[in-house]
Structure 1
Amino acid sequence: MNIAPITDENAPWKQRFRLFLSRGYLARCNYERGLVVSNKSGIYQLYSWNVSNGELRQLTQHTTGKEKGMISSDGQSIYYLNDTQGDEIGHLICINTETDEQIDITPDMKPYSIITMKTDYISRTLAYLISDKENGFQLFTRSMISTTFGPPNLIYQTSNFTENFAISYDGQLVVIETRDTEKGAGSNLVVFDTRNPEQHISTLDDGMDVNIVPKQFASLSNDTRLLAKSNRSGIYRPFIWNVSTNERIDFACEQLSNEGDVTPLDWSSDGKLILLLHIHNATFQVYSYCIDDGILNKLIEQPSGVIFDAQFSPNGSIIVQWETSNMPLQIISLNGKTGAFEQIMLKSLINDQIPASHLRRSVTFPSSDGQLIQGWLTLPVTNDKSGPLPTILDMHGGPEDVATNRFCPETEGWVDHGFAHLSINYRGSITFGRKFQHKIYSNIGYWEIEDVVAARTWLIEQGIAQANVIFLTGWSYGGYLTLLALGKQPDLWAGGMAGIAIADWTVQYEDSAERLRGYQKTLFGGTPEEKPELYTTASPITYVEQIIAPVLIIQACNDTRCPIRPMKNYEAKMHQYNKNCEIEWFDGGHSLNNVEQTISHEERMLHWVQRVLNTNKT
């Protein structure tokens, strides 16, 4: 079999990568200003957004790109982490959107990772959650006037993984999701008074293994109601909790099926409406919920597709980050009552010519224990009736992520070359319920691989895949699963392509940034010293001797999530046992922000697969 890569610079698969993509966020109290993250320059950078005329002004010039930032509620400041070559460790920078002046707000601190950052509604308090190996996780607040900051105020510190908090209208209250009690995989909420952080205002606990996630406080003065979600029913459902009185209102969502998560997206400025997103069977539906009468309004004219975020605008419209398998990510405006499409907010970023995409459909199949697994199947358009196809089996990163019907140049690139492509939502994926997500905890790698093998079985039984030409691929956690499946089920695969992957969980824990060490403890239920057998069993390096198929690894040199040493050890062991392993190291971190670099990675994989197939043929 000879599947020659299409190397023409104008090939459709390359054009899709080069389409302008953008994510946009309006300042909460100044809707004329926004923050846009865009690859307009060829590398993702931060832009100041003049919402009225669509004008963008580039604010960052990082060689490895910058894809994360936050705009203050008044729109006068934009914040981001200034790191080194994408390693996600550095200092928090404030940019004045009027003057473009950049200020390091923690010049005297050692470098750290930023978890989350927010300002209060009146932009007088900045709150930021950071982590480092010396201090664990720390939540600070700072008083602020424009870009002048008061001294740091330590609100909360823990060695346990945490990532979500909310700050009240005037910055006097913060609520944080904590894992400081013995709750298994669960979490609870703790409320602090920023003027006296040693005293807890209140605590909310929904029970063992239940997660509670804060979203935002009401945008009204002296209003201590918090919008949050809990999965105590087995799926996420929204509620409002008054942190001062402990009164709680769980939303009536009876008209929704008792499946799929419902996530709160935004709270209207008058405090009367809540914007909700229901995800079920990979279908995204937006609702508005009226607090006064409990009526849930389905925005029935909402265009189909994937919705990443949405917020109310002052004219009653809803600003949505939206994409489909045929249309790249856009910022659009929808009618706030019906969901009908109104306009594209950033027309200048939409290319006139978008290469046609292939039809993608949702499929389900049973895993080894009978659990149904959902995935997305894409097939080439061909008149060839000769039988099954060479196939790419793709695992998303995370694991707390989900494969959706999104615009995906990587998928289209494979299908353009005649491959079938299946991306699966293995156990551990989000939006399928608490039991589904938590199934992998304290048994990392086992159920995910069961689901991957079940996907292979289904593809063969359906006549879609050639049994001896199924390749595994994935990035980050998906790259980890690629290496693990190659070692634990070596007879099933033609090869595997792993990007920025995890190879050894124990060494990974030793070398990772603190935020990932905390997350590992949550996944495994302890440290490598406490759970040595679990860490060994879950690590791909344990199974190197069993690997049969060739392996291609693409790994970053400056990644603190998947650091160098575990993969160097894996590479050495593969060569020790004379395994067919190629590895490409590139400058950068965990995020792939450079468009041409991403195309280069994809092209490298296409050429590698061609060589593997030609070798097998001879």
Structure 2
Amino acid sequence: MTTQHPPAVIPDRLFADPEAEARWRARFHAPRVSVPDWALDAPDANIYVSNASGVWEVYAWNRATGEHRQVTNRPNGTLSATTSPDGESIWWFDDTDGDEFGSWVREPFAGGPAERALPDVHDGYPAGLEIGHRLIAVGVSTDDGSELFVHVDGKTERFYASKDDAGIAALSRDERLLAISHSEHGDSRHPAVRVYATDGLTTVAEKWDGEGKGLTPLEFSPVSGDARLLVLHERRGREELLIWDVAADTEEELSLDLPGEVSATWYPAADALLVVHFHQGRSSLYRYDLGTAELTSLDTPKGRIGGASVRPDGTVEYSWSNAAHPPVIRARAEDGTDTVLLAPPGEPAPPSAPVVDAFVEGPGGRVHALVARPVNAPEGPLPTVFTLHGGPHSADEDRFSAYRAVWLDAGFAVVEVNYRGSTGYGSAWRDAIEGRPGLTELEDVAAVHDWAVDSGLADPAKCVVSGGSWGGYLTLLAIGTQPERWAAGVAAVPVADYVAAYEDEMEQLRSFDRALFGGSPETVPDVYRECSPLTYVEAVRAPVLVLAGDNDPRCPIRQIENYLDRLAELQRPYEFYRYDAGHGSLVTAETVKQTATEVYFALRALEK
């Protein structure tokens, strides 16, 4: 008989003050848009995603006429979309209720019936898509591994299959070269690059930097006949740029005098790169002239760049926000004029409090954290929530977050920890969790927790640990391995039973886990057992809220139920919020409901 888990309490409101209640909800409901993407040869044909309808969906924007049109309208939203290079069609990925398993659909840019774009390609998890005028390349991942296809002249051909993770990466402007990313060497976290000639689909070039050093193909030059491929490498212990001329088989490493890590995209004439620089939780933009090697700052404000691209006329369009100010889509002309490009309808989100940096010595080196205090907070120690980001290969940033803001409104200090495993701090920091994931990150969280208590920021009796996805996994692991530190735990879409999670998750993640853990649960069972929250469930004392989606392919529901069943057997205090979607929700009302449930749970836990 299935265990009946105690349901989470969903409050009607969080705050007695009507203005405070309206303010936190307004931050989530405020319409937002992404940086627009345009058709390669029809720059007036643009698409973007927005939550203006209350659900994140795809929109078309005809710049010539000024018309905006909602393209998709699905119960659980749509994020993945692109255009054909001629601007005639929009492609979007059609899955089932957020499970990420499905196929690409195509419809006219101006509107009309949608149809399955490539009927001869079976359903699966997306593994890259490149659309040319005469050739289409698409990747699909299933439990059997990765398959890559090309579609030319009405015929579809599978040209690659592997049990290891692989994906379509880049198509040259003249459509003669196709780059893929693969992990045939057994490590999907540090991929290699292969380039095919599309005429005959024969391999023309290979590049792999060896064990522990990934190569990520970004994009070919936008100039027809130019065989240069922009690639991220990590030969000197951090992600940097190189340009690989595939035809000449030569490469140039770009040494930029910038701390931290970078990514980039081409300027339209392929004479320069738009560089996105990330350092200590903040990003900025630069123009790098390939002829003179001159690096010029575009002087964006301190904060986060959420996306950036260069228009045919050289205008840079980008998304910017920081912790205090909501995101805005801006356009910076070549003369330096910077204006708002795209503003969604309705009122913008109310502002919030800024974040400050904390640098704490941890067992593996200096840990960077972002710290926010409620406005007009008392000087004494505060209830504090430690929000742990997902990934694990991601990072918390000085960006606007309605989620962070509501915790501040509720009187909590917020601490965001960029633990080992986070990106932006070098390859050694990112890869330090190999062989002992979860437990390694929590050593850094413990060091920051000690600092927060010793500095007088955090009340040691009122510390909450919270996170989603990998952050949810760390949350459950934390309340089991560090029970004395936490008064409550809030774990959204977590890994809870790692062996069962491995059995049920999408193959791309199984490949990732094998690289991270050093093998599968069959080959290294002790590592999975040591690093699984289920192993430590008997030590859990703090009340815990778990949120999970029925259709989640990343952190599947069965392994979460296994963990909850053990909590029930042990009679530990917990609540469960279950919803009909995948790895999180794209529906604003659902996100608001879950957020209210999380904060209300923590407030009640601290009252006990």
TM-score w.r.t. the length of structure 2 is 0.94
Q: How many angstroms apart in 2 are the aligned matches of 1:383 and 1:531? A: 48
Q: How many angstroms apart in 1 are the aligned matches of 2:101 and 2:388? A: 27
Are the structure 2 counterparts of residues 162 and 437 from structure 1 closer, same or farther at C-alpha, using a change threshold of 3 Å?
farther
Unaligned runs of 5+ in 1: 145-149
Q: How many angstroms apart in 2 are the aligned matches of 1:405 and 1:218? A: 32
- Of residues 123, 137, 148, the one that matches 2:146 is 137
Q: How many angstroms apart in 2 are the aligned matches of 1:295 and 1:161? A: 37
Letter in 2 for 1:273: A
Q: How many angstroms apart in 2 are the aligned matches of 1:285 and 1:310? A: 10
- Kindly indicate whether the alpha-carbon contact (under 8 Å) linking 1:64 and 1:594 is maintained by their aligned counterparts in 2: yes
Cα offsets for 1:553-589 (capped at 9, x unmatched): 0111111111111001111011111111211101111
Match status 1:25 vs 2:37: yes
1:409 aligned partner: 402
Letter in 2 for 1:47: Y
Instruction: Give the drift of 1:486.
Output: 0.6
Letter in 1 for 2:142: D
Q: How many angstroms apart in 1 are the aligned matches of 2:330 and 2:362? A: 38
Residue aligned with 1:491, SS: coil
- Of residues 332, 340, 345, the one that matches 2:341 is 345
1:332 aligned partner: 330
Instruction: Give the drift of 1:130.
Output: 1.4
1:147 aligned partner: none
Q: How many angstroms apart in 2 are the aligned matches of 1:41 and 1:308? A: 21
Match status 1:494 vs 2:497: no
Q: How many angstroms apart in 2 are the aligned matches of 1:313 and 1:109? A: 33
Q: How many angstroms apart in 2 are the aligned matches of 1:109 and 1:28? A: 24
Residue aligned with 1:549, SS: coil
Letter in 1 for 2:439: Y
Q: How many angstroms apart in 2 are the aligned matches of 1:137 and 1:308? A: 29
- Kindly indicate whether the alpha-carbon contact (under 8 Å) linking 2:71 and 2:111 is maintained by their aligned counterparts in 1: no
Cα offsets for 1:299-329 (capped at 9, x unmatched): 2x32332112211112221011222223333
Q: How many angstroms apart in 2 are the aligned matches of 1:68 and 1:174? A: 21
Residue aligned with 2:52, SS: coil
Letter in 1 for 2:329: I
1:315 aligned partner: 313
- Kindly indicate whether the alpha-carbon contact (under 8 Å) linking 1:164 and 1:214 is maintained by their aligned counterparts in 2: no
Q: Segments of 4+ in structure 1 off by > 6 A?
A: none
Letter in 2 for 1:133: D
- Of residues 363, 368, 371, the one that matches 1:368 is 363
Q: How many angstroms apart in 1 are the aligned matches of 2:575 and 2:66? A: 45
* Matched ranges for 1:7-22 at <5 A: 8=18, 11-22=22-33
* Equivalent residues, number: 593
Q: How many angstroms apart in 1 are the aligned matches of 2:204 and 2:54? A: 47
Are the structure 2 counterparts of residues 563 and 270 from structure 1 closer, same or farther at C-alpha, using a change threshold of 3 Å?
same
Q: How many angstroms apart in 2 are the aligned matches of 1:163 and 1:173? A: 15
Q: How many angstroms apart in 2 are the aligned matches of 1:102 and 1:18? A: 29
Q: Which moved more, 1:593-602 or 1:158-167?
A: 158-167
Q: How many angstroms apart in 2 are the aligned matches of 1:382 and 1:321? A: 30
Q: How many angstroms apart in 2 are the aligned matches of 1:22 and 1:354? A: 12
* Matched ranges for 1:185-200 at <5 A: 185-197=189-201, 199-200=202-203
Q: How many angstroms apart in 2 are the aligned matches of 1:383 and 1:491? A: 26
State the identity %.
30
Q: Which moved more, 1:437-446 or 1:605-614?
A: 605-614
Residue aligned with 1:223, SS: coil
- Kindly indicate whether the alpha-carbon contact (under 8 Å) linking 2:387 and 2:415 is maintained by their aligned counterparts in 1: yes
Q: How many angstroms apart in 1 are the aligned matches of 2:150 and 2:121? A: 15
Match status 1:78 vs 2:110: no
Letter in 2 for 1:194: T
Letter in 1 for 2:509: L
2:6 aligned partner: none
Considering only aligned residues, what root-mean-square deviation do their CA atoms show, in Å?
1.9
Q: How many angstroms apart in 2 are the aligned matches of 1:286 and 1:346? A: 19
Residue aligned with 1:345, SS: strand
Q: How many angstroms apart in 2 are the aligned matches of 1:195 and 1:308? A: 37
Cα offsets for 1:110-130 (capped at 9, x unmatched): 43111322223xx32222221
Q: How many angstroms apart in 1 are the aligned matches of 2:565 and 2:533? A: 13
Residue aligned with 2:79, SS: coil
Residue aligned with 1:37, SS: strand
- Kindly indicate whether the alpha-carbon contact (under 8 Å) linking 1:70 and 1:118 is maintained by their aligned counterparts in 2: no
Instruction: Give the drift of 1:252.
Output: 3.4
* Matched ranges for 1:198-597 at <5 A: 199-253=202-256, 255-256=257-258, 259-264=259-264, 266-299=265-298, 301-336=299-334, 338=336, 340-341=337-338, 343-347=339-343, 349=344, 351-369=346-364, 371-382=365-376, 384-385=378-379, 387-597=380-590
- Of residues 76, 79, 90, the one that matches 1:64 is 76
1:44 aligned partner: 56
Residue aligned with 2:148, SS: strand
Residue aligned with 2:484, SS: helix
Are the structure 2 counterparts of residues 309 and 155 from structure 1 closer, same or farther at C-alpha, using a change threshold of 3 Å?
farther
Instruction: Give the drift of 1:217.
Output: 0.7
Are the structure 2 counterparts of residues 183 and 11 from structure 1 closer, same or farther at C-alpha, using a change threshold of 3 Å?
closer
Instruction: Give the drift of 1:177.
Output: 2.0
Letter in 2 for 1:143: V
